[in-house]
Amino acid sequence: MNVNVKARERAEAGKGEIFAWCWYDFANSAFVTVVITVVGGVFFTQSVCAGAEWAEFLWGTALSASAAVAMLAGPMLGRWADRKASKKPLLIWLTLVCVGTTALLGLPRWGVAVLTGLVVAANAAFLLGENLVAAFLPELAPPGKRGRISAYGWGFGYVGGLASLGLALWILSAGGDGAARKVFPATAAFMLLAALPTILFLRERAQPGQLSVTEPDGKVIWNTLRARPDLRGLLSGLGLSLTGLSAVVGFASIYATKEIGFTLEDTVKLFVVLQLAAVVGALATGPWQDRSGARPVLLGALGLWGLVSVGAWLSRSAESFYAVAALAGLGMGWLQSAGRAAVAEITPEGQQGEVFGLWGFAGKLAGIVGPVVFGWLASMVGLREAVILNGVWFILGAWILWGVDKR
């Protein structure tokens, strides 16, 4: 009887459960699109900080601090979730923290210090939740099917980003500071409703007590990295690649405005092009990854990012830059979806939370280093030259990934 129950618990997920898992990507994209990328930064610097000279620095510091929290806590929380077989309860708790703090951002009673703390808490919860929901991927399907499932989630997530952006723009059309404040509780409600299918229907297949607890978690995580050169190589290659990608995402609108002459309306259109192309990039490469393995797919994505770097450097017109943005969107969906699936393919049974915590560590470190290095390069040699130099990250990532076992 127990054997049959265990077999059912580990059975491959059905289409309904996979779709429920994809909804979390849909919900998550609302936060990163509206709160971090489009509305939150402008609201924080202009309304909360009243346009002070230090406003942008404080916003960047809050994002970096939250990324550092998630980077350091991710592997430990993942290891704890593996030992307790509690990925789902922890995911629900992090979702509620992110939703709650996002809603609170819209209240007019807070000062700068409290708003900064809320941003750190919301973004850290978002980033840690991103690790945990990805840790379910190895449980949803056997090897050879994870590429397309990761692609379904990532592609659906970009659709969620567009839908939440449409909601935010509709609210903002009323104008005024009050309209901007209403965006945050509306986005929080959007996230909670979109995450409900995941909360209600995603199953926890892990079993408690499978892992040894005789050693401290930190030592176990370190030993995992020492014993797995394939994992080290994959995470290093992905980390270098995502360093370049994070710089492009962080400075795309600035580059478009200063170097190409885009208006605010042009920049919104550019963002839509990026999102739509990213959907195509994710969905088109998932089946290819399941057939051919991760390495050729990842190397192909990095080759495309090399073209994006050169294209952005050469671009002098809005028309050509839209074409570059479409290629960047393809590469963004392609690389991010394929990277998540590649990690899932080499994750040992019972270590999903730990390994995807390490995946999150690499990604969050990239998100800190990439924009800082790009900003330094831009101040030294100019934006246009920084774009072409940023392509070195993709070359280094490809070099590392080339040496990873092709399986």
From first CA to last CA, the distance across the chain in angstroms is 36
Q: What angle do CA 202, 293, 13 make, to 5 degrees?
A: 20
**Sign of torsion, CA 73 75 79 84?**
positive
Residue 262 belongs to some domain of the structure: yes
User: Would you say residue 291 has pLDDT above 60?
Assistant: yes
Token output for 181? 């404040």
- Whole-angstrom Cα distance, residue 76 to residue 59? 27
Structure confidence at residue 212 (pLDDT): 55
Q: What percent of the chain has pLDDT over 90?
A: 50
**Sign of torsion, CA 68 192 271 357?**
positive
Are 146 and 17 in contact by the 8 Å Cβ rule? The answer is no
Query: Which amino acid belongs to residue 194?
Result: A
Residue 6 belongs to some domain of the structure: no
Structure confidence at residue 363 (pLDDT): 92
Token output for 150? 């990761």
Structure confidence at residue 367 (pLDDT): 87
Mean pLDDT (the chain) is 87
Residue 173 belongs to some domain of the structure: yes
User: Would you say residue 11 has pLDDT above 70?
Assistant: no
Structure confidence at residue 8 (pLDDT): 42
Q: What percent of the chain has pLDDT over 70?
A: 94
Indicate the pLDDT class of residue 309, thresholds 50, 70 and 90.
Answer: very high
> What does the pLDDT average to over 59-87?
90
Output 350 or 343, whichever has higher pLDDT. Answer: 343
User: Would you say residue 5 has pLDDT above 70?
Assistant: no
Structure confidence at residue 177 (pLDDT): 62
Residue 362 belongs to some domain of the structure: yes
Structure confidence at residue 2 (pLDDT): 43
CATH of residue 193: 1.20.1250.20
User: Would you say residue 381 has pLDDT above 80?
Assistant: yes
Q: Total structural domains in the chain?
A: 1
Least confident range of 93-107, 211-225, 334-348: 211-225
Token output for 165? 């952006």
- Comparing CA positions, the residue from 350, 353, 385, 392 lying closest to residue 370 is 392
Residue 377 belongs to some domain of the structure: yes
DSSP assignment string, 246-284: HHHHHHHHHHIIIII---HHHHHHHHHHHHHHHHHHHHH
Task: Classify 382 as helix, strand or coil.
Answer: coil
- Whole-angstrom Cα distance, residue 328 to residue 373? 20
- Mean pLDDT is highest, among 110-119, 250-259, 398-407, for 110-119
DSSP assignment string, 44-102: IIIIISTT-TTHHHHHHHHHHHHHHHHHHHHHHHHHHHHHHT-HHHHHHHHHHHHHHHH
Token output for 247? 């710089």
Residue 56 belongs to some domain of the structure: yes
Residue 387 belongs to some domain of the structure: yes
**Sign of torsion, CA 362 369 337 103?**
positive
Number of Cβ within 10 Å of residue 32's Cβ equals 20
- Whole-angstrom Cα distance, residue 31 to residue 200? 20
- Whole-angstrom Cα distance, residue 394 to residue 388? 11
Residue 209 belongs to some domain of the structure: no
Structure confidence at residue 284 (pLDDT): 87
pLDDT tens-place string over residues 87-141: 999 999 999 999 999 999 988 878 899 999 999 999 999 999 999 999 999 999 8
- Domain interval for residue 182: 14-200+216-402
Token output for 42? 């402008």
Q: Residue with structure tokens 């709650």?
A: 100
- Whole-angstrom Cα distance, residue 181 to residue 190? 15
Query: What are the φ/ψ torsions at residue 76 (nearest 5 degrees)?
Result: -70, -45
Number of Cβ within 10 Å of residue 264's Cβ equals 9
